[in-house]
Amino acid sequence: MSPGDRGAPAPGTASGAGSVASVVVAGAGAMGRLFAARLTETGTAVTLVDVDADLLRALSERGVRLEDDAGVREVPVPACRAEDLSGAADLYIIFTKGMHTRPAVASIARFAGTGARVLTLQNGLGNPETIAEVFPADRIVTGVAALPADAEGLTGVRSLGGGHLELGAFHAAGAAAVDPVAAVLASAGFDARATSDIDAAVWEKVAFNTALNVLAALTGAANAGMDIPPGRRLIARVVDEVVAVAHAHGVGVDAARIHAATQHALTVHGEHRASMLQDVAAGRAAEVESIPGAVIERARAAGVPVPALEALTDALRVVVAGSR
């Protein structure tokens, strides 16, 4: 599907341009806390939304405890349930896990007609399509976050080692929505870049996550623990399989760049535990079907064999079924 063919743009409303002064972040986990705290620190009006009453109470009392390369601080951020939001924001950022995208978007559906933009930097495939079931396609900005965030206790997040964000329009008519979103993220200290080939960026990240997160979740290893010959062999094999699937779907991913990114994560983000590992270890639902499962589905549709990925994903499904 080409970007010109993705759902309906908003009929006769403004272009989506215009600066971003207010943000709602849906999903107050590791990434939601990081983005909400950084945006708040630099003067954007942010509200965190979640479904967990204890978490919302703790965030309202203590704010977010942010640890990044600049140090540790407490950042006060208003937090509430979606039904208690009053007034529309300029931007909604969806930072739930992929299996919670649909209910999270449904909970803010009453803002779909306000001209607000929606950003997803979630891992996996299918999140912008789910958002487009509710919000106009030309208001959706999609992309990837190549940086680590680990939840610490109830209100904390640790993100060390930096990284970058790549953003692009989900719909060809939505290009004007991208720059204001990139600008507000850049003002909060994120290395946010707009890219013209967002499909390649998303698939490169999916290849990266499929290879790293599945092995991490299966083995319990932090990134550095996988940096041994059998770990590197399995990761490289899965990356090559996902690259073949992307190419079969006409997406021009760069295999060498993905191999370099996985090796960079194993070394520079060595102490990070992939988000899928954090979920499986805590007995929470993991993004099995929206990351490796989604790639397998597209591999089958294109007739591309992905034997290593299928075997690892089935092993992971067994682990997940046993841990819940």
Ligand X SMILES: NC(=O)C1=CN([C@@H]2O[C@H](COP(=O)(O)OP(=O)(O)OC[C@H]3O[C@@H](n4cnc5c(N)ncnc54)[C@H](OP(=O)(O)O)[C@@H]3O)[C@@H](O)[C@H]2O)C=CC1
Contact map string, positions 53 to 82, toward ligand KPL, x by CB under 6 A: ------------------------------
The piece of 130-138, 272-280, 301-309, 310-318 that touches ligand KPL (CB under 6 A) is 272-280
Nearer Cβ to ligand X (10/30): 30
Of positions 107, 130, 155, 313, contacts ligand X by CB under 6 A: 107
Size of site (CB under 6 A) for ligand KPL: 12
**Token pair for 243:** 């690259």
Residues 6+ apart with CB under 8 A from 241: 299, 304, 305, 306, 307, 308, 309
**Run of H or E residues at 215:** helix 198-219
Contact in structure between 248 and 302 (CB atoms under 8 Å)? yes
* Sign of the four-CA dihedral 112, 132, 208, 144: negative
Instruction: Decide: is 90 part of the binding site for ligand X (CB under 6 A).
Output: no
Amino acid at 229: P
Tell me which residue has tokens 């770990």.
231
Collapsing DSSP to helix, strand or coil, 137 comes out as helix
Please give the residues from 196 up to 215 whose contact with ligand X meets the rule CB under 6 A.
none
CA distance 102 to 127: 8
96 binds, among ligand X, ligand KPL, none (CB under 5 to 8 A by kind): ligand X
Q: Which of 33, 205, 259, 269 is catalytic?
A: 205
Instruction: Decide: is 148 part of the binding site for ligand X (CB under 6 A).
Output: yes
Please give the residues from 33 up to 72 whose contact with ligand X meets the rule CB under 6 A.
49-52
Instruction: Decide: is 29 part of the binding site for ligand X (CB under 6 A).
Output: yes
Binding residues for ligand KPL (CB under 6 A): 123, 146, 148, 209, 212-213, 223, 265, 269, 272, 274-275
